[in-house]
Amino acid sequence: MRKVVGIIGTGWVGSSVAMAVLQTGAAEEVWLHDVRTDIAEGEAMDLAHGAAFYPRCAVHAVPLEAMRNADVVVVAAGRGGKPDESRLDLLRDNARLVADIGRLLAGFAGTVVLVSNPVDVLTQVMARASGLPLQRVLGTGTMLDTARLRQALGEELDVSTASIHAQVIGEHGDSELVLWSGAQVGGLLLRQWPGWTSATEDRLACSVRQAAYEVIKRKGATNHAIGLVTARLVECLLDDQRRILTVSRVQEGRCGLHDLALSLPTLVGRDGATLVLEPAMEASEQEALQASAKVLRAALKLLSIT
């Protein structure tokens, strides 16, 4: 089966996604589109010139309509965040754009991956506008937050991130929550790690929540890490890896949540984000998840999506 990845939006994030996808070797073709046609063509040419240094893959700039023939479409279009701006402040501008793309993708046979922020709200906007099966419309969600958490824990404990199992769920944003009660290092509950304290949890959770703001304050955007995250998600879809990832999708009952896109541990493979898991949570974590859902419902209300 031909493996084609389409990327809509070739700004900082879209370009980083394209580079990371090429390095994985999961795609046979990468298609780029941007409203700035010259930018998309230039990025395609630039990436193609490096073909000697990544697994065989063709790179082309294509019209938006061509994306209907891809296997996975990554939506990285929209404006980025500004210093001190909440992800939810991006809501109105990016929702309008994503809805237009969603209507174009109605009847699409592949999977759509949302990267643009606020990713949870836009995942729901895409699902509504496209009418695609809910399992085939997913956002990167808290995959990046989870990666940031594991990186922070690795530095804190001086342990490889490969030995750390901890997750961030809920909104990809200020109301996200870390599942500290189930976090483990090499099979040992993190809370049994020598010297671990609740103050450490508070400090690290804050650093994860603030990570994007700190990067944006210094360089104007976050792009490389989310590019790597998205490439891993695309690889999982194309190769049917059936991994458990904290992706965002419209929920259908898990944790008591209905008709709302946010991140929970989810089985991801060729058919999209299929089986959503309900992680064990303490009462305080359950309350935090419901509070996160409330934040997202308020954002949807601003768009008259309820």
Q: Do 247 and 263 meet the contact criterion of CB atoms below 8 Å apart?
A: yes
Give how far Cα 45 sits from Cα of 90, 171, 230, Å. 31, 36, 21
Whole-number pLDDT of residue 93: 83
Q: Are residues 239 and 189 in the same domain?
A: yes
Mean model confidence pLDDT for the chain: 95
Whole-number pLDDT of residue 87: 56
CA 156/CA 174 separation, integer angstroms: 22
- pLDDT single digits (tens) 250-302: 999 999 999 999 999 999 999 999 999 999 999 999 999 999 999 999 989 88
Q: Are residues 269 and 133 in the same domain?
A: no
Percent above pLDDT 90 for the chain: 90
Q: Are residues 116 and 223 in the same domain?
A: no
Residue 89 has pLDDT above 70, yes or no: no
- pLDDT single digits (tens) 235-252: 999 999 999 999 999 999
Residue ranges at the known binding site: 9-14, 34, 94, 115-117
How many domains does one find in the chain? 2
Q: Do 209 and 144 meet the contact criterion of CB atoms below 8 Å apart?
A: no
CATH number of 252's domain:
3.90.110.10
Q: Are residues 255 and 119 in the same domain?
A: no
Residue 74 has pLDDT above 60, yes or no: yes
Q: Are residues 259 and 293 in the same domain?
A: yes
Return the half-sphere exposure (C-beta side, CA atoms, 13 A cut-off) of residue 133. 9
Q: What is the domain extent for residue 120?
A: 4-139
Catalytic residue (choose from 33, 60, 172, 258)? 172
- What band does 91 get if pLDDT is binned at 50, 70 and 90? confident
Q: Which of 46-55, 216-225, 230-239 has the lowest mean pLDDT?
A: 216-225
Q: Are residues 101 and 207 in the same domain?
A: no
Q: Which of 139, 170, 205 is the last residue of a domain?
A: 139
Structure tokens at 244: 């458990």
Q: Which of 33-37, 49-53, 82-86, 246-250 has the lowest mean pLDDT?
A: 82-86
Percent above pLDDT 70 for the chain: 95
- In the residue annotation, 172 being an active-site residue is answered as yes
Q: Are residues 105 and 179 in the same domain?
A: no
Mean pLDDT of 206-234: 95
Whole-number pLDDT of residue 222: 93
Q: Are residues 230 and 296 in the same domain?
A: yes
Q: Which of 20-24, 53-57, 160-164, 219-223 has the lowest mean pLDDT?
A: 219-223
Q: Is 94 left (phi over 0), alpha (psi -120 to 50) or beta?
A: alpha
Q: Which of 95, 122, 139 is the last residue of a domain?
A: 139
Residue 80 has pLDDT above 80, yes or no: no
Residue ranges at the known binding site for NAD(+): 9-14, 34, 94, 115-117
Residue 306 has pLDDT above 80, yes or no: no
Whole-number pLDDT of residue 2: 79
**Nearest Cα residue to 294 out of 265, 263, 264, 260:** 260
Distance of CA 298 to the CA centre of its chain: 21
